[in-house]
Amino acid sequence: MYKERIAHLQQMHKILDDKIDKHEKNHPYSEQKEVSEWKKQKLNIKDEIVRLTRLQWEEDHERVSFHDDDR
């Protein structure tokens, strides 16, 4: 249920990480305001990944299925 969203967020996190690394290597003494915003976005994405991963685990392991598959 949450797997597609988690995968999308992980991809966004990787893109931001690469963008930050590239910017810091190419412009080490530049204004860091933009980079700090990217880092905040990255942290928010990581928090959302953790939240959705927990929900996916609960979906997979904690929910009771009421389907009659045994009949």
Residue 9: count other Cβ atoms within 10 Å of its Cβ. 20
Residue 26 domain-assigned (yes or no): no
Residue 69 domain-assigned (yes or no): no
**What is the domain range of residue 52?**
3-17+31-58
C-alpha to C-alpha distance for 32 and 5, rounded to whole angstroms: 30
| pLDDT higher at 56 or 1 | 56
Range 38-66 burial, b when 16+ CB lie within 10 A, else e: eeeebeebeeebeebeeeeeeeeeeeeee
Which tens digit of pLDDT belongs to each residue from 35-56? 999 999 999 999 999 999 999 9
Residue 12 domain-assigned (yes or no): yes
Q: Answer yes or no: is pLDDT of 20 > 60.
A: yes
Task: Write down the pLDDT at residue 68.
Answer: 59
Residue 22 domain-assigned (yes or no): no
Residue 47 domain-assigned (yes or no): yes
Domains: count for the chain: 1
**Rounded to two decimals, what is the model's pTM?**
0.79
Residue 63 domain-assigned (yes or no): no
